[in-house]
Chains A and B, each alone.
Chain A
Amino acid sequence: MRPDDRPVRIGIGGPVGSGKTALVAALCRALGAELELAVVTNDIYTDEDAEFLKRAGVLDPARITAVQTGCCPHTAIRDDISANLAAVEDLEARWKALDLVLVESGGDNLTATFSYGLVDHQVFVLDVAGGDKVPRKGGPGVTNADLLVINKTDLAPLVGADLGVMAGDAAVKRGERPVILCSLVDDPGAADVAGWVRAQLAR
Chain B
Amino acid sequence: MNLLLLTDGRFPAGGHAHSGGIEAAVMAGRVTGVDTLAVFLAGRLTTAGRVAAALAAAAASGAHDLVELDAEAAARIPSPALRAASRTLGRQLLRTARSVLDAADLPDDLHHPVAMGVVCAATSGLGPADAARWAAYDAISGPASAAVRLLGLDPFRAWGVVAALMPEADAIAAGAAAGAARPLTHLPSCSAPLLDIGAEHHAASEVRLFAS
**Whether chain A touches chain B in the assembled complex (some CB pair under 8 Å):** yes
A residues near B, CB below 8 A? 44-47, 67-72, 75-76, 79-83, 85-86
- Which residue, B14, B15, B211, has most C-beta atoms of chain A within 10 A? B14
Q: Given A45-B207, A68-B209, A71-B150, A83 and B19 touching (CB < 8 A)?
A: no
What CA separation (Å) do A67 and B209 show in the bound complex?
10
Most buried by A among B13, B146, B209: B209
Return 12 A-B CB contacts under 8 Å, by A number: A45-B208, A46-B208, A67-B211, A68-B209, A68-B210, A69-B209, A70-B146, A70-B149, A70-B211, A71-B146, A82-B13, A86-B92
Task: Indicate whether A86 sits within 8 Å of B17 (C-beta atoms), given known contacts A45-B208, A68-B209, A68-B210.
Answer: no
Interface string of B184-209 (1 = CB under 8 A from A): 00000000000000000000001111
Instruction: Determine if B160 is an interface residue (Cβ-Cβ < 8 Å).
Output: no
Which B1-60 residues have a C-beta within 8 angstroms of A? 10, 12-19
Q: By the criterion CB–CB under 8 Å, are B209 and A44 in contact?
A: yes
Contacts of A83 in B (CB 8 A): 14, 17, 88, 92, 211
Residues of A within 8 A of B210 (CB): 68, 70-71
In the complex, whether B112 has a CB less than 8 A from a CB of chain A is no
Chain A residues near B206 (CB-CB < 8 A): 46-47
B17 — which chain A residues lie within 8 A by C-beta? 67-70, 72, 76, 83
Task: State the interface size on chain B (CB cutoff 8 A).
Answer: 23
State in angstroms the CA–CA spacing of A45 and B209 once bound together.
Answer: 4
**A75 to chain B: which residues have CB within 8 Å?**
16
Assembled-state Cα–Cα distance A68/B146 (Å): 13
The 4 lowest CB-CB distance pairs between A and B, nearest first, are A82-B14, A68-B211, A80-B12, A70-B17
**Measured CA separation A60–B109 after assembly (Å):** 27
List chain A residues, Cβ under 8 A from B18: 70
Cβ contact of A85, chosen from B16, B95, B149, B209, cutoff 8 A: B95
Q: Which residue of B lies closest to A75 (CB)?
A: B16
Q: Which residue of A lies closest to B210 (CB)?
A: A70
Select A86's contact among B14, B15, B150, B207, beta carbons within 8 Å.
B14
User: For residue A69, which residues in chain B have a CB less than 8 angstroms away from its CB?
Assistant: 16-17, 209
Contact (Cβ within 8 A) A72 B16: yes
A86 contact set on B, CB distance < 8 A: 14, 88, 91-92, 95
CA distance A45 to B208 in the complex (A): 5
A71 to B150, CA, bound (A): 8
Q: Does B79 lie at the interface of the complex (its beta carbon under 8 Å from any beta carbon of A)?
A: no
CA distance A47 to B210 in the complex (A): 11
Residue of A nearest to B96 (CB): A82
A79-B96 Cα distance, complex, nearest whole Å? 13
B146: chain A residues within 8 A (beta carbon): 70-71
Complex-state Cα separation, A47 to B208, whole angstroms:
9
> Do B12 and A81 touch across chains, with their CB atoms under 8 A apart?
yes
Alpha-carbon separation in the docked complex, A68 to B96 (Å): 18
**C-alpha gap A19/B16 in the complex (Å):** 26
Given contact pairs A68-B210, A70-B17, a sample of 12 additional A-B residue pairs in the complex whose CB atoms are under 8 Å apart: A46-B207, A68-B208, A70-B18, A70-B146, A70-B210, A76-B16, A79-B10, A80-B12, A80-B14, A82-B14, A83-B211, A86-B88
B residues in contact with A45, CB < 8 Å: 207-209
Please measure, in the bound complex, the distance between the C-alpha atom of A71 and the C-alpha atom of B26, giving whole angstroms. 15
Residues of B within 8 A of A82 (CB): 12-14, 92, 95-96
